[in-house]
C-alpha cells in the first residue's frame, strides 16, 4: 500500500487532485520522487501530466454540466472568480488554456472552458501542452537542485 501512495499511482492521484477544485500541490511529490532517483523522470513527467490534465477535464465537465447550480452555497467558484476567468478567456481566447496550470485562476479557467462549451479535444490538447511544459520546468528545477 505504501508504494501505491508514494509511487506512480500516488503521483497521478496528487496531480489529478491538484488540477481539480481541491487545494492540492503535486509539485512537491514530483520533486521528491525525481530526487530519489528511484523513478524514471520521463515516466514521472508523463504520469504527472496525465493526472493533472485529467483533473482539469473534471473541471471542464463540471462547467459544461453544472453551471445551473451556481447560486448554491456548495458551488466551487464565486461569481467574482467566474467573471475574472471569463474575462481572461474572452481576452486571450482558446490560447489562454495553455495557462491552466497557474495556481491562481487555472482551475476557474478550465471550468469556464466547459461553461463556454470549448470543444473537448481542443481543450485537452491546449491544457495538456501547458501542463506538460510546466512539469518539464519543475523536473528541470529538481535536477538542477541535485
Q: Say whether pLDDT at 75 is over 50.
A: yes
For residue range 17-74, what is the model confidence (pLDDT) as tens digits?
A: 999 867 778 898 999 999 988 999 999 999 999 999 999 999 999 888 877 777 777 7
Query: Considering the entire predicted model, what is its pTM?
Result: 0.84
What end-to-end distance do the CA atoms of the chain give, in Å?
A: 28
Question: What confidence score (pLDDT) does residue 1 get?
Answer: 41
For residue range 76-123, what is the model confidence (pLDDT) as tens digits?
A: 677 787 787 778 788 888 999 998 888 777 888 898 899 889 999 999
The DSSP code sequence of 28-82 is HHHHHHHHHTSS-HHHHHHHHHHHHHHHHHHHHHHHHHHGGGTTSTT-SS-HHHH
Query: Which cell is 144 given?
Result: 538542477
Per the CB < 8 A criterion, the answer to whether 19 and 61 are in contact is no
Amino acid at each position: 500500500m505504501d508504494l501505491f501512495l508514494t509511487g506512480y499511482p500516488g503521483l497521478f492521484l496528487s496531480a489529478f487532485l491538484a488540477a481539480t477544485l481541491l487545494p492540492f500541490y503535486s509539485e512537491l511529490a514530483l520533486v521528491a520522487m525525481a530526487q530519489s532517483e528511484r523513478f524514471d523522470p520521463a515516466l514521472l513527467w508523463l504520469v504527472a501530466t496525465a493526472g493533472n490534465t485529467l483533473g482539469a477535464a473534471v473541471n471542464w465537465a463540471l462547467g459544461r454540466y453544472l453551471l445551473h447550480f451556481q447560486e448554491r452555497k456548495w458551488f466551487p467558484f464565486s461569481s467574482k472568480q467566474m467573471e475574472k476567468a471569463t474575462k481572461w478567456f474572452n481576452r486571450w481566447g482558446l490560447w489562454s488554456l495553455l495557462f491552466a496550470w497557474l495556481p491562481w485562476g487555472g482551475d476557474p479557467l478550465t471550468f469556464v472552458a466547459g461553461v463556454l462549451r470549448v470543444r473537448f479535444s481542443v481543450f485537452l490538447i491546449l491544457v495538456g501542452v501547458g501542463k506538460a511544459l510546466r512539469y518539464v520546468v519543475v523536473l528541470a528545477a529538481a535536477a538542477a537542485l541535485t
